[in-house]
Structure 1
Amino acid sequence: MNVRTPGFKYPKLLLSSALVLALSTLSTAGMANAERLGQDLTPVGAERAGNTDGTIPAWDGGLSSSSDRYSNPFADEQPLFVITAANAADYSAQLSPGQLAMFQRYPDSFTMPVYPTHRTAAMPQKIYDAASHNAANTSLTDDGNGLINFQEALAFPIPETGLEVIWNHLTRFRGGSLERTFVQVPVQANGSFTPVKINEKMAFPGYLKSTGEDRTDNILFYFVQEVTAPSRLTGNILLVHETLNQITQPRQAWTYNAGQRRVRLAPNIAYDAPGTATDGQRTTDNLDLFNGAPDRYNWELVGKKEMYIPYNSFKLADRSLKYNDILHTGHLNPEHTRYELHRVWHVEATLKEGQRHIYGKRSFYIDEDTWQAAVVDHYDGRGELWRVGEAHHFQYRDVDVPWYTAETLYDLQSGRYLVGSLTNEEGNGFDFTQRFDYADFTPQAIRRMGR
C-alpha cells in the first residue's frame, strides 16, 4: 500500500531577502505557539484546563478507545436540569439566538436536557503531530481562500482570526477514509417524512491506496454520493473533488444522470445551490453545517464562550431506536437528545458587498475540542433569523474520530426541518476501514456505478 503523507504543494517562488526574513520570523513565532500544544493546550489547541466553576472539566485525553462503538458510557446519568420555554431566559447567555428562537417557535415541545459535561474528544497521534506541524508552518494564501504548508488536518490549532477557525472546521479530522450509509430526512411541518437513503465514499489524499502525484495537488478530499432510496430519487450520482483553494481551482464536481445515462460537469454544486434530495431545505454549503469556499463572506472572530451544545449523543445513536422514535413534528424528540456545557469559538460571517447568497449572515459556534461546528444560526437577506443548525456530536471510539450522529437544520419560518447522518436503522452506518484508489473517484467510476 502506497500511503503518502498529504500536504498542499505550491509553486517554487523567488523570494526577496526581506520576505525570507519575514517568513523566518513568522515561523519562529509559529514554533513557539506550537510548543503550547499538549501543555496548557490540548494537542489540537483547546484549553486543557476546566472552567473556574467546575462545570467544564479539564481534558484528560478523551474517551478511551473501545470496539463497542454504540454502547453508551453515560447511560446511568440523569439530566442536571432541563431548559424549557419557561426558563430559557435564565440561560440566554449560554444559548444562541437560534436556540432561544426554537423555544419561542415550539414552547410546548422543544426542550434541552442538560447533562454533566464530558470532554470525550480523542484523535490518533498522527493527527496531533499534524496539528503541531500546522501550528508552526501553515498560513493562509489568496486572501484567505487557500492554505500553504498544510498537513492532513486541523490547519490552525491556535487560531487568530475567524477565518482560521472556519478552516479548522473545514480541515478537521474525519477518519481519513470511509464509506457510510445513512438517511437524510426532510420532515414536513405536519411531521410527515420519507427517509432518503444515501451511500457515500470519502477519502483524503494521504489515505488513497494509489494515485499519481499530480492528482492530489490542492485536493482536500474526494467524495462520491449516491441516493439509493426511495426509488423516485435513485440513479443519480454526485462526484466531488474538494479543493483546498477554491479560488485558483474551483471545486470539481460531476453528476451522473440516470435518465440521460450521461456524466456531466456540475460547476454549480456549491454555495447556495439546493442540496441533493433535501426538498429545498438546505443549500449545498449547509452540508456538514458548512463546507466549501469561504470567499463570499467576511469572517469576524467574536471570541470564545461557554454554551450548551449537543454532545456525547450516544442516546440518540442507540441502535434500538427507529426513525419514528426520533423525528417528531417541528424538531427531534427531546427524549433522545443530550446537551452539555462546552467552550466554543464564536464566528460571525457576513455576506461581502457585491456577493450573492440566500444567507446574509451566519453565526457559527465551533466546539474547541473537535473543531466541529456545533450550532449555526442563519439569517436571510433582510437580517431575519431563518434557520437554526445543530450537530449532535458523537465520538467513534473504535477509530478515535469525533463526528456527528445527526445534523439538523430547523426552518423557523416554515416549521419544516431537515435531518442528516442518521444511521439507527442502517447497521453500523460508518465504515472507517475502507480504502480506495484514485480511480474510484473519477467520472468513469460514477458512469460504471450508474450502469
Structure 2
Amino acid sequence: MKLLIQSTTLSLSLLTGAALAAVTPEQAAQLGKNLTPLGAEQAGNADGSIPAWTGGLGKNSGKQNPQGFLDDPYASEQPLFTITAQNAEQYKDKLSPGQLAMLKRYPDSYRLPVYPSHRSVALPDSVYAAARSNAQNTQLVAGGNGLTNFQTAYPFPIPQNGQEVVWNHLTRYRGGSMKRISVQATPEKSGAFTPVTFKMEFTYRDQLKDFDPANPGNVLFYYKEEVVSPARLAGSVLLVHETLDQVKEPRLAWLYNAGQRRVRRAPQVAYDGPYPASEGLRVGDNFDMYNGAQDRYDWKLIGKRELYIPYNSFKLDSPKLKYDDIVKAGHLNPEFARYELHRVWEVEATLKPGERHVYAKRVFFIDEDSWQIVLADHYDARGTLWRVGEGHLQPYYNVQVPWLAVEIVYDLLNGRYIVSGMKNEESKGVEFGVKALAADYTPAALRNAGVR
C-alpha cells in the first residue's frame, strides 16, 4: 500500500481540491515556519530517516575547480544498504512502479545504493520572497494552462491540485540564465554508444538585459541548443520561446538545418513530437523530465509519499569519470548513483478523451524541497509501463541552484535508454548568471549560430 503523508499544515480539501484561487495570507504565513520557504514540510519524518530541513547546503560547502565542478560534501559516506531484485520486496513501499520494473528488467545488474538523506537544497532569499508573494497572488488561467500574477519561480508553494505541482516544476529556479556543454548518449543493447555534444543556453525573461517589467509578454524563457558533434549532426540548432500560456500562444520553436542552411519553424518540438537527435527514445515533452503545455491531460494530485530517489548526485558528475564509466548496457552504472529517502509529491496525468499522445498515462514524483521531477513513469495505450524517467538531482550549492547531474529515459520494452546532461570529460561545466539580449534568441541569431 502506498504511504500517503498529509502535510501537517494542509487539509485534505486543500491537498486535492481543484480551486484556482491563490492561498490565504494565513496559509502563506506558514512558509518559513511549519513549511520551508518553498512549501516543503520543514520537519523530518517520524523515525528520523528523513531529517528536518535546516536551510540546505551553504555556499561554502566545498570548492569549485576551474572547470566548474564542485566538491562532493558527502564523499566520505558509504551506502546504508543496496536495493536489488533479490531484496526489492522488503522496500517496495518506498519504490516507484518504474523502479520496481527496472529491478525486474535487469535483475543481475540494476540496483539502488541507498545513502543517508540530506536535505541539501537552498535557494537565494529573493526566490523565497517571490514564492511567498506568488502563493498569495498567482492564479491558474485557461483551465490551468497559464499563469497570472507570477514572478520569478514557484507559483504555488502551497499547491491545491496536480497542475499547480507541475507548474512548480516547470517554473523552478535554475539560476535565471545558464550556458553549458551537455553530452548525450543513446547506447545500443550492447552498451556501445556515440556521444552527442550540445552547446545549450537559456535565459528567463526577467534576466534579459532588455527586459521590461511593465510589459513582460507571454514568454517565460528562451532556450537554444546547438549540436557540436558528431560531424553528421554538427551545426544543427534548436531555438525555443517557452510561453506561460501555451494554449493561448503555443510554444514557438525553430530548427536550423546545417545541411540546408535554412531556418524552419518546428511546431513538432512539443508534446509527443520527436525530440532532435534522440533516436526516438524520447519525445518533445520528455526533456527536462517534463516540459510544455498540460492541456492534453487530466491531472490528479495523489498526495505525498516517501521514496528512495536519486539525490545529491555529485559522484555521478565527477570529472574523474569517463563517459564509458557511466554509460553501460541497459542502464547507467549504479556504482556512481546515489539514492536517498525523501518526501515526494505524486501526480498522475491521464490522457483526455479525444486527445493524442504516445503516453496514455504518466505518473510524476516531485521532490518536495526543489520541486524537481525526479522519477517519471510513462504508460502506453494498453496500460503497459513503457518508459521510466530518472532525474539525478545535484545542488549547485555555490550559486544556490538545484540542478540535475543527468536525466535518463529508460525504455523497458526495447532495452535501450537515453541519458543527457553529462559533462564529466568537458573542459567547462555550467555557467550561471549569463546575461543576454532578446535579440540573441531570434531566428536570425539561430542562423548565425548554425553556420559552419
TM-score band by shorter chain is over 0.9
The partner residue of 1:37 within 31, 37, 46 is 31
- Deviations, residues 270-292 of structure 1 (Å, cap 9, x unaligned): 00011111111000100001000
Q: Relative to 1, partners in 2 of residues 1:108 and 1:250: Cα closer, same or farther, differing over 3 Å?
A: same
Q: Distance in 2 between matches of 1:314 and 1:212?
A: 37
What TM-score do the two structures reach when normalised by structure 1? 0.93
Contact 2:206 2:213 in 1 (8 A): no
SS of residue paired to 1:247: coil
Cα-to-partner distance string for 1:200-243 (whole Å, 9 max, x where unaligned): 11000111112467974111100111000000011211111000
Relative to structure 1, is the Cα distance of residues 269 and 214 closer, same or farther in structure 2, using a 3 angstrom cutoff?
A: farther
Cα distance in 1 between the residues matched to 2:265 and 2:191:
36
- The two structures, once aligned, show a CA RMSD in angstroms of 1.3
After TM superposition, the structure 1 stretch with the greater mean CA deviation from structure 2, 66-75 or 197-206, is: 66-75
* Aligned counterpart, 1:335: 335
Determine if contact 1:406/1:419 at 8 Å carries over to the other structure. Answer: yes
Deviation of 1:255 after TM superposition, in Å, equals: 1.2
Supply the distance in 1 between the matched residues of 2:49 and 2:267 (Cα, whole angstroms).
47
CA contact (8 A) 2:58 2:398 kept: no
Task: Work out whether 1:441 is the aligned partner of 2:441.
Answer: yes
> C-alpha offsets along residues 372-418 of structure 1, whole Å, 9 cap, x if unaligned?
00100010111100000000000101210001000011110000011
Aligned to 2:43: 49
What is the DSSP-based 3-state SS (H/G/I as helix, E as strand, rest coil) of the residue aligned with 1:316?
Answer: helix
Aligned-partner residue type, residue 178 of structure 1: M
- 2:126 matched to 1:129? no
- For 1:34 and 1:213, locate their aligned partners in 2 and report how far apart those are by CA, in whole Å: 24
**Match in the other structure for 2:176:** 176
Distance 1:103-1:248 versus aligned 2 partners, 3 A rule: same
Query: Per the alignment, do residues 26 and 299 of structure 1 end up closer, same or farther by CA in structure 2, a change over 3 Å counting?
Result: closer
CA contact (8 A) 1:181 1:200 kept: yes
Q: Is the 8 A contact 1:70 1:319 kept in 2?
A: no
Shift of 1:268: 1.8
Alignment deviations for residues 27-58 of structure 1 (CA, whole Å, 9 cap, x no partner): 6x432221111000000000000000100000
CA–CA separation in structure 2 for the residues paired with 1:449 and 1:393: 30
The one-letter code matched in structure 1 to 2:51 is P
Structure 1 pair 255–438 and aligned structure 2 pair: CA distance change class (3 A) = same
Matched, 1:301 2:295: no
1:221 counterpart SS class: strand
Alignment of 1:283-294 (within 5 A): 283-294=283-294
Shift in Å, 1:264: 1.4
Q: Distance in 1 between matches of 2:340 and 2:117?
A: 5
Is the partner of 1:440 in helix, strand or coil? helix
- Asked if 2 retains the 8 angstrom alpha-carbon contact of 1:131 and 1:153, the reply is yes
SS at match of 1:232: coil
Matched with 2:71 is 71
* TM-fit CA distance, 1:428: 3.2
**Whole-angstrom distance in 2 between the partners of 1:174 and 1:244:** 16
Question: Partner residue of 2:107?
Answer: 107
Size of the aligned set, in residue pairs, is 426
Q: Residues 213 and 74 of structure 1: is their aligned pair in 2 closer, same or farther, counting only changes over 3 Å?
A: closer
Question: Alpha carbons of 1:214 and 1:240: their partners in 2 closer, same or farther (altered >3 Å)?
Answer: farther
Partner of 1:59: 53
Pairwise CA distance, 1:318: 0.9
Measure, in 2, the Cα distance between the counterparts of 1:81 and 1:408.
23
- Residues 39-438 of structure 1 correspond to what in structure 2 (within 5 A)? 39-66=33-60, 67-68=63-64, 69-211=69-211, 216-438=216-438
Unaligned runs of 5+ in 2: 1-19
1:99-131 deviation line (CA, Å, top 9, x unaligned): 001111000000100000000000111100110
Contact 1:30 1:137 in 2 (8 A): no
Matches within 5 A, 1:17-28: none
Paired residue type of 2:111: T
